[in-house]
Amino acid sequence: MAARQREPAGRGPRARPSVARLQPPALQGKPGNRAAAVPGRAMRVKARKILGILEKTHPDARIYLNYQNPWQLLIVTILAAQCTDERVNEVTPLFFQRYPTASHLAAARPADVEDMIRSTGFFRHKARSVIECSRVISERHGGEVPAELDLLTDIRGVGRKTANVVLSNAFGRPAIAVDTHVQRVATRLGLAAARNPDKIEQELCDLVPQGRWTRATHLMGTHGRRICTAKKPDCSHCPVSRLCDYYRSLPETSQGAAAS
């Protein structure tokens, strides 16, 4: 089991972001843009039922990356792209011993970083991203990870999903981070119809109350890891199969086999 994350030390209270920063991309801008995206009551009820069941099924749902401060969380999230959290957690203890701060990593030789993160895959691209990311944080933000979505996504290698992971878990800001697990679970259940992660985020933010955005991410992510896996979902042990579009789309013989 991953170690319990410690709260970042030495941080004073930060200003609460404006509502616009907490909204998904298509909801920012003119108020009239929101009306067309609002889902029906039935879908909101379905989402509430699913999250309630998943809460009982996975009460220990959480983020599975190990970190001790916002900068470490940012780095491990970048490294976790196309890689398992378990593998990243194996690599990072030694990595953060060698590069304990953003300024240390900003000054690192790319070849040295590549050697340390090789097993996470795409190591050359990731090495460039974490070094550049650390350089920007050191030079523009005084070594502190910014707690604003637009500032985070301006950094090389930091997309919206990565930024939302950091904002929600390191800074306690409501956010839905659509990784591969959340994307798979949301689309199979019928809570999202889009394929683009940013659009899926928008759909989920419309369905789920803002105060539950982070928790919804953890619940769906854990469900995707344990039951609704990519290659062979365990429908026979899925507590939300009766609410799942994917399960209902299976032939009756397959449904019977899954339920047996």
pTM of the model: 0.82
pLDDT of residue 164: 98
| pLDDT per position as a tens digit, 209-253 | 999 999 999 999 999 999 999 999 999 999 999 999 999 999 875
**What does DSSP assign to residue 178?**
-
| pLDDT per position as a tens digit, 63-102 | 999 999 999 999 999 999 999 999 999 999 999 999 999 9
CB 78 within 8 A of CB 158: yes
Strands (DSSP E) along 157-210, which ranges?
none
The residues annotated with a catalytic role in the active site are: 161, 179
| pLDDT per position as a tens digit, 132-187 | 999 999 999 999 999 999 999 999 889 999 999 999 999 999 999 999 999 999 99
Give the residue-averaged pLDDT of 117-124: 97
pLDDT of residue 16: 43
CB 165 within 8 A of CB 139: no
Per-domain boundaries in the chain: 38-260
- Portion of the chain with pLDDT greater than 70, in percent: 82
Alpha carbons 251 and 168: distance in angstroms, whole number: 39
Q: How many CB atoms lie within 10 A of CB 77?
A: 27
Q: Does domain 38-260 have CATH number 1.10.340.30?
A: yes
pLDDT of residue 251: 87
Q: Is 241 exposed, middle or buried (0-12, 13-18, 19+ CB in 10 A)?
A: buried
Q: Which of 69, 68, 88, 86 is nearest to 77 (CA)?
A: 88
- What is the token pair recorded at 145? 């990870």
Q: Which residues contact 28 (CB under 8 A, 6 or more apart)?
A: 20
CA end-to-end span of the chain, whole Å?
31
Q: What angle do CA 54, 60, 66 make, to 5 degrees?
A: 125
- Portion of the chain with pLDDT greater than 90, in percent: 80
Q: What angle do CA 18, 46, 35 make, to 5 degrees?
A: 45
